[in-house]
Chains A and B, each alone.
Chain A
Amino acid sequence: MEVKGSNKGTLKRISGPVVTAVGLDAHMYDVVKVGNEQLMGEVIKIQGDNIIIQVYEDTSGIRPGEPVENTGLSLAVELGPGLLTSIYDGIQRPLEVLMDKMGDFIERGVSAPGLSHETKWDFVPTKKAGDEVGPGTIIGEVQETNILHRIMVPPNVKGGRIKEIKSGSFTVEETVCVLEDGTQLQMMHKWPVRVPRPVTEKKNPDIPLITGQRILDGLFPIAKGGTAAIPGPFGSGKTVTQQALAKWSDAEIVVYIGCGERGNEMTEVLTEFPELEDPKTGKPLMERTVLIANTSNMPVAAREASVYTGITIAEYFRDMGYDVSLMADSTSRWAEAMREISSRLEEMPGEEGYPAYLAARLSEFYERAGRVETLDHESGSVTVIGAVSPPGGDFSEPVTQNTLRIVKVFWALDAKLSQRRHFPAINWLNSYSLYLDTLHDWYDQNVSAEWNTIRAWAMEVLQKEAELQEIVQLVGSDALPDEEQVTIEVARMLREIFLQQNAFDPVDTYCNMEKQYDILKTIRLYADGAYGAQKAGVATAQIVALKAKNDLPQIKFTKDYKADLEKIVANMDAEFKALREA
């Protein structure tokens, strides 16, 4: 590292997580060590001789006059084998290592590398001496968990012809490959978190991320490489929905950022993930997961950084050619961290005290999602699902509004639904997905040619029900015409059987596309039978009281449901037939 002018200065002022230093040569976003305890901080403003620094740890007891040292580097993460199954704080310090070093509580002034520098990994080269490599080229593999960790030429290295490439057991710091120009490559490289990693090309998102959640896959799908927001007032099941997504989505790698959330909730994730099985591989889910836990009482500046740390790790796995899904819970806490630091900087506030650059930061972040052709010409994706916690459930507040301007999918959680124990409490009338058109062909080819039609039909019935409910509220359901009473009944079935899903039931927690289609189809079958019977003069009360359909909800909780479903369909037919003939 080149030392420029003076890389040492002194502290002048301390005000909570924001401190001012003088006599320091610094550039924006340089990482600095603050005070005698060498707390980690980052330069966020330069004002004449005053260098303003946000500190990632508690600053109690720090005095003016203590030293400040500039490392000259940006805040970066270590990328290499050892990331999977890790649990980090907002600045990639492994929480497990921190616990070994300082006990049950997080004290300050302890640094810990993001990856273990001692563990040896078996490196298997996929290139040989004489091969030409460029930035991002995969040169070898490490079997990290059940996931194959691909080692690449760092995107900021020019590349060239390989002079020597080794095979065998190495630590992440040992050289595994030497290029002809003398460049030495290790399994680990560092990347500054605030800089998006380069790709060859961004592609159109036209493959859905299958989540096993009926309301999501069925009605409001998200594409791989897409962006979604889950805004919800507290208590509306936002966290449960995000966790279900982290558990069941068919991404190969999951990065979960607990940003300013509850400690006990993170513990739940930490204890549950290692026990849960990946529905595809049968291995613990944890083996494909990286967790970042920065709870609400951990330092606010590290909370600001945690989102960048997470997305950089996600991009790294994408560059290996994996489909990655990233959950950020919650981006509102991230925005609040920005607000808190901005107000300490005495910046001119924008709307509701948030900094004027809030919208820009949010869009920069979501723009790092996408389905791409990597530098090595593989296909990979990062899907970003951000939770938003609007104060008082008011969607007009700045964080929700600025997020909605960017994201393509909106899953509107509704406290009213969760009060009725309708879970997932996603409101089917307010939610939307802008990927329906791009995903149309995929559903056509992979689920059924009927799928898009039947989906549209279900939405129509639900929409119709909402209108009818307004009338029912005024005059009662008996006053409705017969046909519409059937519609109400069909909509009820859609809500209670298709949309409601029990995340705590071992079978119902994940529902594959085939089963989703089967359930929807059966409800459609009932609807057709019902309208048909009505035309044949059967009384509405009898249609609504059809016995066979009462067994349908049980299908959700049955693993091998096909035989039962056939029986239900047969019974339904028989009953309708009997009614028509009676």
Chain B
Amino acid sequence: MKEYRTITQIAGPLVFVGKTEPVGYGELVNIVQSDGTMKRGQVLDTSDEIVVVQVFEDTRGIGRDSGIRFTGETIKMPVGRDMLGRILSGGGKPKDGGPDIVPEKRLDIIGAAINPYARASPRQFIQTGISTIDATNTLVRGQKLPIFSGSGLPHNEIALQIARQSKVPGSDEEFAVVFAAMGITKEEENQFMADFERTGALEHAVVFLNLADDPAVERIVTPRLALTTAEYLAFELGYHVLVILTDMTNYCEALRQIGAAREEVPGRRGYPGYMYTDLASIYERAGIIKGKKGSVTQFSILTMPGDDITHPIPDLSGYITEGQIVVSRELHRKGIYPPINVLPSLSRLMNLGIGDKMTREDHKKVSDQLYAAYAEGNDLRGLVAIVGKDALSERDRQFLEFADLFEGKFVRQGHYEDRSIQESLDLGWELLATLPEEQLVRIDRDLIRKYHPKYRKQGA
């Protein structure tokens, strides 16, 4: 392999190399420093005159005396069955002191798009044991559902609880967890790893760790390595894979850093104009393929800068993912765990996975009614602040109390409290029963007669 010593410019994570033979776009590059250490990079722009290489690691130590080797192939990742139970770096190197991965296959990490025609529709209900997700924002297999959170909120606890409790009721198919951390702190890592070890989840997990002090540019490849692994496990080996990506905000920051180094025209708030396409190439790698056994379900966590849901990162994510679970600082301050605010939360695939034969026939209507009643009660809080409780009508008072009950009983649950969907729905009915029956306009009378606690007690 030819080694070039024709570096003309180094700027941030980018190395410009002149006078090369034709080099392929997207090719993997090895950079040999004068002291013999090797770093990796990728071709971002190639022409007769100049090749731009994006280095995945720190460029410290790279100089005009460093050698550049073009490998002639795009970035591939060795994958194999023995990856389960392993901890790898954000660049895919073993980090647990174990041996290298025995490759059964080497896959391109830029996954091709699944042909929409080959996709099967996701419709299998996943029970997370958390009422605000199961009953009101149901997750189904093959869905991509992010958690929109803010700094200092317990999104990691929620993600762990989901990873711990998720199951498809009445099924014991093989499942695996792929966990990719981008720019999280050592403390957070410890929290995740301790929980994985305690619950034995590590056995069927593959962990990729890019910590806060690892090179930012490496974060660009971490999620792609994780998803390539997940696709291999799902579509070649038939596992049902839950992918947890945290924190996508750090990923986007890295993207912006590279864009700035390339002197690109920035889009909104300095993020590159192609961020939507780039994020889509990550989030869209979830789903089910017709005739294949496995599935890839994605749970990504992102912290909204300044709790601003209109910030480009949550905004673009929300347009790609199939809904979002929004963690609320206000509920957190009230001491409610998990502080999931159902009002801005949404699961777009919910209707595919619920109802008769899947969860329960009253699921959709109960969920709609809970939403509507909570929204109304929540609005009234603003009014109470101005006119006081006494000025409210009897009906309004009932809705106001409902909102408090909803937060205190339905939203709030223990870290290890694993509610079945039946329990969550029954709990919903219990709360709805505090409202006058004629106010339950979203629910058919037949269902009210069948499930309303008042009638159920009579029947029993």
Q: Complex: how many Å from CA A292 to CA B23?
A: 35
Residues of B within 8 A of A (CB): 22-27, 44-48, 73-74, 108, 110-122, 142-144, 235, 264-268, 273-274, 276-277, 280-281, 283-287, 289-290, 292, 309-312, 315-316, 318-320, 322-324, 343-344, 346, 348-349, 351-352, 364, 368, 371-372, 375-376, 382-383, 386-387, 391-393, 396, 438, 441-442, 444
Partner of A14, one of B46, B309, B349: B46
Verify B284–A262 contact, CB threshold 8 A.
yes
Residues 506-543 of A, flagged 1 when their CB comes within 8 A of B and 0 if not, give 00000000000000000000000000000000000000
A434 contacts chain B at the CB level, 8 A cutoff? no
Residues 240-282 of A, flagged 1 when their CB comes within 8 A of B and 0 if not, give 0000000000000000001010111111101100000000000
Q: A residues within 8 A CB of B315?
A: 234, 391-392
Q: Complex: how many Å from CA A354 to CA B118?
A: 34
Residues 465-497 of A, flagged 1 when their CB comes within 8 A of B and 0 if not, give 000000001111110000000000000000010
Verify A235–B318 contact, CB threshold 8 A.
yes
A61 contacts chain B at the CB level, 8 A cutoff? yes
Partner of B119, one of A13, A20, A264, A496: A264
A65 with B22: in contact, given A95-B115, A106-B112, A504-B351 (CB under 8 Å)?
yes
Verify A105–B114 contact, CB threshold 8 A.
yes
A343 contacts chain B at the CB level, 8 A cutoff? yes
Verify A234–B318 contact, CB threshold 8 A.
yes
Residues 383-426 of A, flagged 1 when their CB comes within 8 A of B and 0 if not, give 00000010111100000000000000000000100111100000
A181 contacts chain B at the CB level, 8 A cutoff? no
Q: Complex: how many Å from CA A478 to CA B273?
A: 52
Please name the residue on chain A nearest to B351 by beta carbon: A504
Q: Complex: how many Å from CA A253 to CA B286?
A: 32
Partner of B26, one of A60, A106, A553: A60
List 12 A-B pairs, Cβ < 8 Å: A12-B47, A58-B110, A105-B118, A262-B348, A263-B113, A266-B119, A297-B280, A415-B344, A419-B371, A419-B375, A420-B372, A421-B371
Partner of A105, one of B115, B268, B396: B115
Partner of A12, one of B48, B122, B290, B376: B48
Q: Complex: how many Å from CA A271 to CA B118?
A: 11
Centre residue among A105, A297, A300, A343 by max chain B CB count within 10 A: A297
A260 with B280: in contact, given A14-B45, A104-B115, A419-B371 (CB under 8 Å)?
yes
Please name the residue on chain A nearest to B321 by beta carbon: A262
A92 contacts chain B at the CB level, 8 A cutoff? no
Please name the residue on chain B nearest to A13 by beta carbon: B47
Q: Complex: how many Å from CA A95 to CA B319?
A: 24
Verify B284–A296 contact, CB threshold 8 A.
yes
A262 with B320: in contact, given A15-B25, A352-B268 (CB under 8 Å)?
yes
B335, chain A: closest CB distance, angstroms:
24
Q: B residues within 8 A CB of A266?
A: 116, 119
Verify B392–A420 contact, CB threshold 8 A.
no
A342, chain B: closest CB distance, angstroms:
8
B455, chain A: closest CB distance, angstroms:
18
Q: A residues within 8 A CB of B285?
A: 297
B252, chain A: closest CB distance, angstroms:
14
A61 with B122: in contact, given A105-B114, A352-B267 (CB under 8 Å)?
no
A107 with B372: in contact, given A16-B25, A62-B25, A64-B48 (CB under 8 Å)?
no
| Stretch of A194-202, A332-340, A568-576 lying at the B interface | A332-340
Please name the residue on chain B nearest to A349 by beta carbon: B265
Verify A295–B284 contact, CB threshold 8 A.
yes
A369 contacts chain B at the CB level, 8 A cutoff? no
A550 contacts chain B at the CB level, 8 A cutoff? yes
Residues 441-460 of A, flagged 1 when their CB comes within 8 A of B and 0 if not, give 00000000000000000000
Q: Complex: how many Å from CA A336 to CA B315?
A: 14
A356 contacts chain B at the CB level, 8 A cutoff? no
Starting from the known contacts A60-B24, A343-B273, 18 additional A-B residue pairs (CB-CB under 8 Å) come to A14-B24, A60-B26, A61-B26, A87-B116, A105-B118, A263-B114, A264-B122, A267-B119, A293-B116, A296-B277, A297-B277, A297-B285, A343-B264, A343-B265, A420-B375, A421-B368, A476-B391, A553-B441
A64 with B22: in contact, given A235-B318, A265-B348 (CB under 8 Å)?
yes
A307 contacts chain B at the CB level, 8 A cutoff? no
A174 contacts chain B at the CB level, 8 A cutoff? no
A157 contacts chain B at the CB level, 8 A cutoff? no
Please name the residue on chain B nearest to A392 by beta carbon: B310
Centre residue among A239, A353, A392 by max chain B CB count within 10 A: A392
Centre residue among B73, B277, B289 by max chain A CB count within 10 A: B277
Verify A473–B393 contact, CB threshold 8 A.
no
A268 with B73: in contact, given A107-B112, A353-B273, A421-B368 (CB under 8 Å)?
no
Q: Complex: how many Å from CA A271 to CA B115?
A: 14
Q: A residues within 8 A CB of B25?
A: 14-16, 59-63
Verify A87–B284 contact, CB threshold 8 A.
no
Verify A267–B120 contact, CB threshold 8 A.
yes
Q: Complex: how many Å from CA A451 to CA B133?
A: 44
Main secondary structure of the interface of B (DSSP, over half): mixed
Q: Complex: how many Å from CA A295 to CA B115?
A: 9
Q: A residues within 8 A CB of B344?
A: 235, 415, 419
Q: B residues within 8 A CB of A478?
A: 391, 393
A147 contacts chain B at the CB level, 8 A cutoff? no
Please name the residue on chain B nearest to A95 by beta carbon: B117
Verify A295–B110 contact, CB threshold 8 A.
no
Centre residue among B25, B318, B323, B386 by max chain A CB count within 10 A: B25
A98 contacts chain B at the CB level, 8 A cutoff? yes
B375, chain A: closest CB distance, angstroms:
4
Partner of B382, one of A262, A352, A473: A473
Partner of A264, one of B142, B375, B383, B441: B142
A61 with B116: in contact, given A296-B284, A419-B343, A421-B371 (CB under 8 Å)?
no
Verify B46–A106 contact, CB threshold 8 A.
no
Q: Complex: how many Å from CA A478 to CA B393?
A: 7
Please name the residue on chain B nearest to A475 by beta carbon: B387
A353 with B265: in contact, given A235-B318, A473-B382, A476-B393 (CB under 8 Å)?
yes
Verify A63–B393 contact, CB threshold 8 A.
no
Please name the residue on chain A nearest to B119 by beta carbon: A267
B425, chain A: closest CB distance, angstroms:
16
Q: B residues within 8 A CB of A13?
A: 45-48
Verify A296–B322 contact, CB threshold 8 A.
no
Verify B110–A264 contact, CB threshold 8 A.
no
Q: B residues within 8 A CB of A239?
A: 348
Q: Complex: how many Å from CA A296 to CA B344?
A: 23
A104 with B235: in contact, given A61-B26, A264-B142, A270-B117 (CB under 8 Å)?
yes
Q: A residues within 8 A CB of B349?
A: 264
Pairs of residues from A and B, 10 with the lowest C-beta to C-beta distance, nearest first: A392-B310, A296-B280, A13-B47, A60-B26, A95-B117, A63-B22, A105-B112, A297-B284, A14-B25, A104-B118
Partner of B277, one of A106, A340, A391: A340
Partner of A63, one of B23, B267, B318: B23
Q: Complex: how many Å from CA A13 to CA B315?
A: 33
A96 contacts chain B at the CB level, 8 A cutoff? yes
Verify B364–A393 contact, CB threshold 8 A.
no
Partner of A95, one of B116, B286, B324, B364: B116
B315, chain A: closest CB distance, angstroms:
5
Centre residue among B274, B322, B375 by max chain A CB count within 10 A: B274
A104 with B372: in contact, given A98-B115, A419-B343 (CB under 8 Å)?
no
A298 contacts chain B at the CB level, 8 A cutoff? yes
Please name the residue on chain B nearest to A19 by beta carbon: B25
Q: B residues within 8 A CB of A62?
A: 24-25
Please name the residue on chain A nearest to B312 by beta carbon: A391
CB interface residues, A 343-373, toward B, < 8 Å:
343, 346, 349, 352-353
Q: A residues within 8 A CB of B309?
A: 392
